[in-house]
Structure formats: C-alpha cells, structure tokens
Amino acid sequence: MPKKIKKKAPKRVEEFDFKPGIVIANKYTVIKKLGEGWEGEVYKIQEKNTKIIRAAKFFFPHRNKKNKVAATYAKLLHKLSHCPIVIQYYTHEVFEHEGHQVTCLISEYVDGEILSSFLERQPRERIGVFRALHLLHSLITGLEAMHAAKLYHGDLHSENVIIKRYGLGFDLKLLDMYDWGQKERRANMEGDIIDSIQLFYEAIGGKKTYKSQPPEVKQICMGMKRNLILEKFKTARDLRLYLENINWQSSYKE
C-alpha cells in the first residue's frame, strides 16, 4: 500500500498586511491599515455594495482558537451597544487566508485620532487643566455606563482611546476591551478608575508639571497613589459626581 502523505500544516499567520484595494469575503474592499496588536490587525474598509465605510478587526488564528476570543469580544461590544463610548459592532465574517480560517469583526469606523497622537501635537505635549477635566469627565462617564452593565475595559491607556471630536468637550471611543472573567471584575473596575486618572495626569504633563498643579488637581490625582485614589473614589460614579461638583477656589489660570 502506498504511504499516506501527510498534509503540511499551514504556516502561522504573524501578520496580514492586506494591501489597499483587495476584497475580503467578496464584500469588503480594504482602504488602509489602522493599527495592530497582540490579537490581530485593524483596517479601514468599504462595503462593496453600499460604499459605507466600516472598520474590521482581523484576528490571528493562533490567538483566536475555536473562535473564542472573537466571539467574546463581539458579545462584549453587543452588550454595551447602548454605551456611547464603545464602538458599535455590526457583524462578523469568516474567510480563508493562507490555509487558515480567519475571523474578522465588522464595526463602525470612527474618524478620530488616537489620544497619544493628539497629545503629541499639543504645545509641550500636554493640554490645560480645564480641557483635561473635560477629557476625564467624558471618559469616566462612559466607564460608569460600562460598570453599570457589570463590564469593564481592563486596559486603558493613551493608545486605545480615540478622540472623535473635541471643543468644549470630548467625544471618545475606546478600543481593545479585555474579558478577564468574573473573579477579577471588581479589581478591573478599580483599575479603570486608576487608569482614567492616569490619563488625566499624563494629559496635563505628568510628573514634570504635577508639583505646580492647583490643589483641585491634586485632590483628583492623590499623588497617583492607588490606595488613596480608591479610598476617595470607590466607583466611577463617585469620580464623575466629584468632577461635576468641584468647588474651584484656587486662582489657577491656563
């Protein structure tokens, strides 16, 4: 009997590198790459039939075994569809790529700017206290809605916050939520509070400017000591209400 020839396993996909103009799943035309991370890559795409612009997150197959990561992420986005700070999820597609079944999630495209890039463009790479307070208020209001749904972000930093529009206030969207499980829920909600204040701290200049900040700012940052922050702001709601009722007494000027 002739020996059975073993099929060679397809090479692991470490990057997609989809070029502008290629068509995915016979439905979506790639416009450009928006970013990449541990789980996969994100692209700006256009629906072929409607010409509507969307975003698509493509998961590396070895990071999405049995489609668990993509399914979990889609369910999180769907559960938070009422929350304006969360990108709206529409559907998912599965297609073949280099011998692998690849899942992509289709969501709204946010025409905005990553917070880190926004801050880099500012004079001395920071914004004034009052604008930063608006930023923090928008962020913590969105997190409060997430926490009310017993969910959390879990990994907030300036690379996964998109500023969609700004002026008097900020319209924000969050990227890359994590689902660490029920046991860690409380710790991650607390982590969201700490991380939101950390972003505020960074936005006003961080350690370089902290000493000269007014008392009202220091009463929020609390020296960036986790235990002091959480003692004062036990929930996102506590922080939101505090921001909305600050009794500003110092003579600080931007």
Could you give the domains of the chain? Answer: 23-108 (3.30.200.20), 113-244 (1.10.510.10)
Collapsing DSSP states into helix, strand and coil, what is residue 212? coil
Each residue's pLDDT tens digit in the chain (254 positions)? 566 666 677 888 889 989 999 999 999 999 999 888 888 999 999 999 999 999 999 999 999 999 999 998 899 889 899 888 999 999 999 999 989 999 999 999 998 899 999 999 999 999 999 999 999 999 999 999 999 999 999 989 998 999 987 777 889 999 888 766 667 889 999 999 999 999 999 999 999 999 999 999 999 999 999 999 999 999 999 999 999 999 887 776 66
pLDDT score at 84: 85
pLDDT score at 197: 98
Please tell me the chain's helix, strand, coil percentages from 3-state DSSP, rounded to the nearest 5: 40, 25, 40
pLDDT score at 196: 98
Phi and psi torsions of 196, nearest 5°: -65, -40
pLDDT score at 1: 58
Which residues contact residue 29 at a Cβ distance below 8 angstroms, ignoring those fewer than 6 apart?
A: 21, 22, 23, 45, 46, 48
Phi and psi torsions of 204, nearest 5°: -95, 5
The amino acid occupying position 164 is K
- Whether the CB-CB separation of 210 and 178 falls below 8 Å is answered with no
CA distance 231 to 220: 12
Residue 166 pairs in a beta bridge with: 170
pLDDT score at 3: 62
CA distance 151 to 185: 7
pTM of the predicted model as reported, rounded to 2 decimal places: 0.85
pLDDT score at 178: 74
User: Taking Cα atoms as reference points, which of 84, 67, 19 lies closest to residue 45?
Assistant: 19
pLDDT score at 40: 92
Q: Which residues of 130-140 are buried (b: 16+ CB within 10 A; e: fewer)?
A: ebbbbbbbbbb
